[in-house]
Structure 1
Amino acid sequence: MSALRLAVFDMDGTLLDSLPDLAECCREVLAQCHLPLLSDAQVRGMVGNGVQALVERALQAALEQKAEASGALPAMPLSTEEAVSRFMAAYTPRATRLSRLFPGAEEALRRLHAQGWLLAVCTNKPEKAARRILSDFNLTSLFASVGGGDSFAARKPDARHLLGTIAQAGGTPARSVMVGDMPPDYLAAQGAGCPFVFAAWGYGAPDLAHKVEAMSMQDVPAVLEQLIPA
């Protein structure tokens, strides 16, 4: 008997339109540092490599904006650790205040689950935040595994993050598919030997559009069925 099929989803930009809350929390940290505030569009291009990368990119962009206005590059106002701590203090209690599942996401997940697919999340977001989001949207029971950015010794694009999530879900790489919108998702899938589906509706990278593509979450069950038939 073949191993169960496993669909592994990235979270930000794939299952969840999280940009509004991420951007608001970035602006909160920047305001505390008396730095220029960034727009949602500016923050969008910074999402995908985890909280530390997001916060560092936001601070650097704001510092550069301030330097353009003043003619001198100011010093970094906070250590990376303190900036991340302040961001998470703002983000954790409000992770779903403005964020919403992408259209069709819940229906697609429930359809896959009903068809016998195992489901997992592999995200560079901290596991606690990812689990809180799934709970807020009443999706926890659908998922066999949640691999956060702090769940294993490595995180995407390192394949060990995806492989750990697959193992935790009870799947095998040969019968698993990674669905995501960013290069770290694709690179993790490539390293793990899994097919990759590009979430074209997300925050993604246009250079991934030549990969197996789904234009909306509604497309995902049919696309996955073609990649790994029952």
Structure 2
Amino acid sequence: MLKFPCLVLDHDDTVVRSTPTIHYPAFAKTLKTLRPDVNWTLEQFVAYNFDPGFEAMCRDILHFTPEEMNFQEASWRAWSAANIPPAFEGMEELLRRYRLQNGVVCVVSHSSEETIRRDYHQHFGFEPDLVFGWELGADKRKPAPWPLEQIMAHFSLKPQQLLMVDDLKPGWQMAKSCGVPFAFAGWGCSVESIQHFMHQNADYDLRQVSELQQLVL
């Protein structure tokens, strides 16, 4: 019997290595157009995505207008459509074994549902049971508790039967608000401040995909 019957996975830099290959290059290209005087490193971009978060970063730090937000989103979608990020080593085996034991796989992410389902089909040969992506809007997007509430209601599960796996704060905030255990996906993170926060606050501080496999299987 699985310790966690439902695995709730973030997508970017948890299941696939997408920030270095898609999100950062796309955003750097956007900055060259909208804010040519801003030159962030990959580490700075990741740190701002962690705190204050992507939307707040665009709104409060870069002061994007609604029109500029639409421009950056269109640029990001174009880059995402043209590129499939690589899956982390060990993730395919983990998900295959987990599903063989009738585990439920859900995704709560700031990527689009279309992109998530494409990546799962490409790398793992199946699509998640439920996907909650960026297009749902701010009130239904993590860190809002709505995705986890929907998952628990749909599968008649209690909070302790889920495990939220994420590399950034919105996933931790969402899990905490619902009483769902949280595991830090540290295999895709090299930013020391994020590692420190997660070491202090995550229920499970994981640095390798193999550690997640040992935990859930």
Query: Is the 8 Å Cα contact of residues 55 and 84 (structure 1) preserved in structure 2?
Result: no
Equivalent-residue separation in structure 2 for 1:169 and 1:80 (angstroms): 39
- Equivalent residues, number: 207
Gaps in structure 1 of 5+ consecutive residues: 61-74, 226-230
- The answer on 1:85 being equivalent to 2:79 is no
Q: Secondary structure at the match of 2:131?
A: strand
Change (3 A) 1:85 1:183: closer
- The answer on 1:158 being equivalent to 2:144 is yes
Match of 1:224 in 2: 216
TM-score by length of 1: 0.74
1:108-119 to structure 2, matched below 5 A, reads 108-119=94-105
Equivalent-residue separation in structure 1 for 2:175 and 2:65 (angstroms): 37
TM-score by length of 2: 0.78
- The answer on 1:137 being equivalent to 2:123 is yes
Cα displacement (A) at 1:50: 7.1
Query: Is the 8 Å Cα contact of residues 9 and 122 (structure 1) preserved in structure 2?
Result: yes
Q: Secondary structure at the match of 2:135?
A: coil
Change (3 A) 1:134 1:7: same
Cα displacement (A) at 1:217: 1.0
Match of 1:26 in 2: 27
- The answer on 1:123 being equivalent to 2:109 is yes
Tell me which of 205, 209, 216 is aligned to 1:213: 205
Q: Secondary structure at the match of 1:157?
A: coil
Match of 2:8 in 1: 8
Change (3 A) 1:90 1:55: farther
1:129-159 residue CA offsets vs partner (Å, 9 max, x unmatched): 2223223324434x21111133374221121
Taking only aligned residues, the RMSD between alpha carbons, in angstroms, comes to 3.1
Equivalent-residue separation in structure 1 for 2:170 and 2:35 (angstroms): 32
Query: Is the 8 Å Cα contact of residues 53 and 170 (structure 2) preserved in structure 1?
Result: no
Cα displacement (A) at 1:52: 4.1
- Among the aligned pairs, what percent are the same residue? 21
Gaps in structure 2 of 5+ consecutive residues: none
1:33-182 to structure 2, matched below 5 A, reads 33=34, 35-36=36-37, 37-47=39-49, 52-53=55-56, 55-56=58-59, 60=62, 79-96=67-84, 99-141=85-127, 143-151=128-136, 153-168=139-154, 171-182=157-168
Bigger Cα displacement from structure 2, 82-91 vs 165-174:
165-174
Query: Is the 8 Å Cα contact of residues 176 and 195 (structure 1) preserved in structure 2?
Result: yes
Query: Is the 8 Å Cα contact of residues 8 and 162 (structure 2) preserved in structure 1?
Result: yes
Q: Secondary structure at the match of 2:25?
A: helix
Q: Over alpha carbons, which structure has the higher Rg? A: 1
Match of 1:64 in 2: none
2:72 is matched by which residue type in structure 1? V
Q: Secondary structure at the match of 2:187?
A: coil
Query: Is the 8 Å Cα contact of residues 107 and 131 (structure 2) preserved in structure 1?
Result: yes
1:110 is matched by which residue type in structure 2? R
Query: Is the 8 Å Cα contact of residues 119 and 144 (structure 1) preserved in structure 2?
Result: yes
Cα displacement (A) at 1:208: 1.4
Query: Is the 8 Å Cα contact of residues 16 and 101 (structure 1) preserved in structure 2?
Result: yes
Cα displacement (A) at 1:81: 3.2
Change (3 A) 1:206 1:215: same
Q: Secondary structure at the match of 2:165?
A: strand
